[in-house]
Copies of this chain bind each other. A is one copy, B any other.
Amino acid sequence: MEEKLQLKSQVCFPIYSLSREIINRYRPFLDELDITYPQYLVLMVLWENEVQTVNQIGEKLNLDSGTLTPLLKRLEAKELIHRCRRRSDERVVEITLTEKAGSLKNKAVLVPEKVVKDIGLTIEDLEDLKRIVTKILNKTKKSLP
């Protein structure tokens, strides 16, 4: 019993720890762009497809409206997005990028490689990590109720 409860034998703790650690490494670079990591993720989703509903963004990031609504309002306050209800269905809020967000993209694209270099990760590290994490993420989705 003792062994099972030791932090070092836990599976989730290293992942939880690494997730926070990497986000902390992103912080100084994202501070320069005046955005947070979750805001950066939302912008990435939008850079891939410039018009999306709150729901569509939420599905891609696994975040609900309770998280997204205030986050999107902050992005709107920074003038990086517009929030506008769809004329044909007023329940839906469509999110679009502003020009300011477009010009941010040039700087944003450089951030991940800066972080990787900063930490000192190799291509092998990244590929190993991504392969196993993606594999397990797929299992978590398949095993849903």
Contacts and interface: CB of A to CB of B under 8 A. Distances in A.
B130 A129 contact: no
Contacts of A77: none
Interface string A19-44: 11111011000000000010001001
Contacts of A45: 7
B23 A12 contact: yes
Contacts of A120: 139, 142-143
> What copy number does this chain have within its complex?
2
Contact of A41 (B7, B47, B125): B7
A136 B122 CA distance: 10
A125 B6 CA distance: 19
Contacts of A115: 12
A47 B133 CA distance: 29
A82 B143 CA distance: 39
Interface string A97-122: 00000000110110011011011110
Given A11-B129, A118-B143, A125-B135, 7 more contacts: A5-B44, A5-B105, A11-B130, A14-B133, A16-B37, A19-B19, A121-B139
24 contacts: A4-B109, A4-B112, A5-B108, A6-B44, A7-B60, A10-B112, A11-B22, A12-B19, A12-B23, A14-B133, A15-B15, A16-B23, A16-B37, A18-B19, A21-B137, A118-B143, A119-B143, A120-B139, A120-B143, A121-B136, A121-B139, A125-B132, A125-B139, A129-B133
